[in-house]
Amino acid sequence: MTDEPLLQIRNLTKTFTVGKGQELVAVSNVSLDLREGETLGLVGESGSGKTTLGRVVLRLTEPDTGTVRFEGIDLLALAGEPMRRMRSKMQIVYQDPMLGFNPRMRVRDIISEPLRLHETLSRTELQKRVMEVLELADLDPRVLSERPGAIRKAEQQQVAIARAIATGPRFIVLDEPTGLLDLSVSIHIIGILRRLQEEQKIAYIFISHDLSAVRAISHRLAIMYLGQLVETGPIEDVFARPTHPYSEALLSSVLLPDPKTTRQRLRLSGEIPSPINLPPGCPLAPRCPLVEERCTGGPPPLVAIRGNGESGQPSWWSTCFPLSDNEENLDNWYAIMQEHESTETEELRAAIAAARTENEG
């Protein structure tokens, strides 16, 4: 098994109990593979479970059921010292780096702290390693003696990246690392992350709301909705021809930076429902324009869009009842989705006008 993925996630579920016996399924039966040097973009609405999935994979939160294999080792079976040692190989970078820094420490100590925890280096070796990661994160050595609050937001994020790579991890969860940054700065950070990956073969799970950032850095895309993965596949394929109605709704909602063109959107009705005590069936059913009776009955089937991967998982799949009828004829399925799409606000305008007349009448 030379081709075993770096990270193998199988049937991972995490439920939180809220209030009196109410259950919130934050991550529901998620299976994913991540290869060395690969980036998986993880997208979905707020509350869809992206962050929880990232934390569960790192065992920052304990899952209820499922397995996580990292470098072939069952992470969930580890305890104590072996788990602690494993942590030097997997890291996380948060949206707001300041939340993870001790504001009274200097940048030099922030970056060297994980090295002191995980390795026994002499003072000169430590110094040398800090300078190395500083350069990898494209940081100016002048920041070393600063406190994190005194440097710019982008530099704070670079410090967080430098700290994350200090122990030479194989895998990093990036939880909205560009979420608070301006466009030009976010492009810079993504450039650093990409270069790091090329040089160090680190695998990323990149969690973000920003679809263009996800597209710029990811090799594969996973789309989550209410704790479930609804579609996973190669990034350009899913962006170009998503098969799940939720994927289509999400990707077609991106506004075009072009005033002369508008785009047909698959519109979902209403809002993301409360994730507490979800009914059985497809989680999108109450909002989906293509909903059928069977969609509310039980869990939707997994439809393989493209072949089987080496580890038994198809490389592109989606979970949808109506799609499963069109498995052999995807063009027909795309045509069906398009029938439900619309462009602009004409209907909205009419609806508002009607509401007003009704009110006045």
Partner 1 sequence: MVTETPDATPAGSTASGEILRVSDLTLHHLVEDRLVIDGAFMSVDSGEVLGVMGESGSGKSALLFGIIRLLLREVEQRSGRIAYRGEDLMAKSNRQMEQLRGLEMAMIVPGGKFSLNPVETAGSQIVDVLRSHFPDRSKKDLADEAIEILRIIGIPDPDIRFRAYPHELSGGMAQRILIAKAMACSPQLLLGDEFTVGLDVTIQAQVMDHFHALLRERNTSLILTTSDLGIAATYCDTIAVIRRGQIVEYAPVLDFFANPQHSYSRLLLSAAREARAQQKMDEARVDVERDTSQDRRFVHEDLPAPPDLYTLVAPGHLVRLEDE
- Closer CB to partner 1, 11 or 253, in the complex: 253
CA distance 233 to 317: 6
Q: How far is the CB of 77 from partner 1 (least distance, A)?
A: 36
CA distance 336 to 276: 31
Helices 123-136 and 107-118 meet at what angle, rounded to 10? 120
Pairing mode of beta strands 7-18, 65-70: antiparallel
Contacts with partner 1 by CB under 8 A lie at 45-46, 182-184, 187, 209, 211-212, 215, 236, 239-242, 248-265, 267-268, 270-272, 334, 337-338, 341, 343-345, 348-349, 352-353, 355-356, 359
Three-state secondary-structure class, residue 169: coil
Q: How far is the CB of 325 from partner 1 (least distance, A)?
A: 18
- Closer CB to partner 1, 158 or 186, in the complex: 186
CA distance 137 to 199: 12
Q: How far is the CB of 184 from partner 1 (least distance, A)?
A: 7
- Closer CB to partner 1, 182 or 292, in the complex: 182
- Closer CB to partner 1, 182 or 199, in the complex: 182
Q: How far is the CB of 334 from partner 1 (least distance, A)?
A: 6
CA distance 184 to 156: 16
CA distance 52 to 63: 9
Three-state secondary-structure class, residue 157: helix
Q: How far is the CB of 220 from partner 1 (least distance, A)?
A: 17
- Closer CB to partner 1, 57 or 214, in the complex: 214
Separation of CA 303 from chain center: 21
Q: How far is the CB of 100 from partner 1 (least distance, A)?
A: 20
* Dihedral sign for Cα atoms in the order 16, 18, 23, 24: negative
- Closer CB to partner 1, 168 or 286, in the complex: 286
Residue that has been written with the tokens 């029938």 in this structure: 339
Q: How far is the CB of 356 from partner 1 (least distance, A)?
A: 7
CA distance 134 to 46: 33
- Closer CB to partner 1, 20 or 104, in the complex: 20
CA distance 32 to 204: 13
CA proximity to 269, closest of 251, 287, 252: 287
Residue that has been written with the tokens 């005590």 in this structure: 277
- Closer CB to partner 1, 16 or 334, in the complex: 334
Q: How far is the CB of 162 from partner 1 (least distance, A)?
A: 23
